[in-house]
């Protein structure tokens, strides 16, 4: 267990997030939001950049929101979307932390080239 969360739960959570990102459109949405930083992007900006129908974008945003990779906040008449950087870090760390756990000798630290 890690902080009260079982390994099985962590695997299920990671799998759900990776599944959501496994769709090319959702990955493109998430990538745009990551690139936008903490300011995020309005739904209209996302739609314009991706050149997809509003209903299609809504469907993909919902999938990312369900797995907590994206959040939405209404600012007046604008619906802002933001990447959840903490959840992204958790997902990436989950994968990196497991790297070579069972084969430590095979994964010696790589020396940085100057």
**pTM of the shown model:** 0.82
User: pLDDT tens digits for 52-111?
Assistant: 999 999 999 999 999 999 999 999 999 999 999 999 999 999 888 877 878 766 665 656
Residue spans per domain, the chain: 7-107
CATH of domain 7-107: 1.10.10.10
End-to-end CA distance of the chain: 39
pLDDT of residue 1: 45
d(CA 18, CA 27): 10
State the Cα–Cα distance between residues 40 and 87, nearest whole angstrom.
15
């Amino acid at each position: 267990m890690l902080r009260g969360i079982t390994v099985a739960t962590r695997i299920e959570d990671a799998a759900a997030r990776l599944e959501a990102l496994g769709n090319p459109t959702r990955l493109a949405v998430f990538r745009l939001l990551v690139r936008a930083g903490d300011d995020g992007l309005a739904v209209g900006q996302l739609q314009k950049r991706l050149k997809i129908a509003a209903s299609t974008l809504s469907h993909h945003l919902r999938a990312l929101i369900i797995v907590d990779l994206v959040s939405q906040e209404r600012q007046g008449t604008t619906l802002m979307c933001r990447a959840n950087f903490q959840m992204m870090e958790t997902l990436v760390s989950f994968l990196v932390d497991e790297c070579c756990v069972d084969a430590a000798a095979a994964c010696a630290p790589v020396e940085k080239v100057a």
